[in-house]
Amino acid sequence: MNIKKHIPNIITLGNLFCGTLATIFAVKGDFYVTAMLVVLGIVFDFLDGFFARLLHVQGELGKQLDSLADMVTSGVVPGIVMMQFMIHSNSYNELGISSWDAALDMGLSIDNWYSYELLGLLLTLFACYRLAKFNIDERQSDSFIGLPTPAMNLFVLSLPLIAQYTSSSFILSIVHNKFFLIAITLFLSILMVAELPLFSLKFKTTSFKENAMKYIFLILSVVLLIVLKFVALPVVILLYVFLSIFNNAIKK
C-alpha cells in the first residue's frame, strides 16, 4: 500500500472533520468556535493541494474529495451561520438582545423565524453550484472564475464576530440591519458563480514583477488585519475582488 498517495486525502478529510464540527457549533449559535474550526479547515484545504503537488500524487479522487469537504466547511456552514445571525439580529433590533445565549434563553430560536432568514441558505446552494462548476471548468487551474467558497465563508463568518467584539454603535447598526444581510447574501451568492476572473494566491515563482498584485494584496491584507482586526475580514475579501478587476483591466 502506497501511503504517500493518501497523505493529501487524509488532510482533506481533516478539512471535512473540521467542517462537520463547525456545522454543529453553527447550529448551536457558537459563532466564535465555528469560525476557529472553519479557519482550521481552510488551512487543511490549502495543505492538501500543497502536499499533493509536493508529492506528485494529484488525482481525480483527491479533486472530488476536496470539493465534497469544501461543500461542508465552506458551503453548509456559512449558510447556517448567515441564517442564525439573521435570527440573532432580529432579537438585537427588536428586543435589544445582544447575546445569542440570551436570545436562546428567551426562546428566540426556530419558532421565531421570519421568512427572509431562510435566504441565508442561498449561500449553501450557490456554493454547491460553484464547486460542481469548478470541477469541470478547465479555465480555473491557475486562477478563479467567480469568488472561491473559502473567501465567501470568511466574509460571512466575520459578521457575527464583528457584532460580538466591536463597540461601535455605527458598525453594529450596519451588521444587524436585515436589508444589509440580505444584500450581502445575494451579492456573495451571485459573485460565486459570476464570470469574473480572480487571481489565485498560488506562487509559481517569488518574482515581484510576476506576482506584484499578489504581494500588494497580501501586504495590504496584513495591514488591514492589524489595524481593523475582525472588521478587516470583509474589507480584505472586497479588496481581493477589486484588485482582481483592476488586474483584469490592466491585462486588457
pLDDT in tens, 102-141: 555 544 444 555 678 889 999 999 999 999 988 887 776 6
Query: Does the model's pTM come out above 0.95?
Result: no
Q: What is the DSSP-derived secondary structure letter of residue 3? A: S
* Nearest-angstrom CA–CA distance, 40 and 15: 7
CB burial string 12-32: b at 16+ within 10 A, e below: bbbbbbbbbbbbebbeebbbe
| % of the chain with per-residue pLDDT over 90 | 48
Check residues 2 and 50 and name the one with the higher pLDDT.
50
* Nearest-angstrom CA–CA distance, 225 and 167: 17
Which residues share a beta bridge with 197?
Answer: 145
Instruction: Tell me: pLDDT of 1 over 80.
Output: no
Domain boundary assignment for the chain: 4-195, 197-252
**4-195 has CATH 1.10.10 classification:** no
| Contact (Cβ atoms closer than 8 angstroms) between residue 87 and residue 31 | no
| Contact (Cβ atoms closer than 8 angstroms) between residue 99 and residue 32 | no
| Contact (Cβ atoms closer than 8 angstroms) between residue 159 and residue 222 | no
Q: Report helix, strand or coil for 143.
A: strand
| Contact (Cβ atoms closer than 8 angstroms) between residue 37 and residue 115 | no
Reading the block at residue 61, the C-alpha cell is 479522487
Tell me how crowded residue 158 is: count the other CB atoms within 10 A of its CB.
22
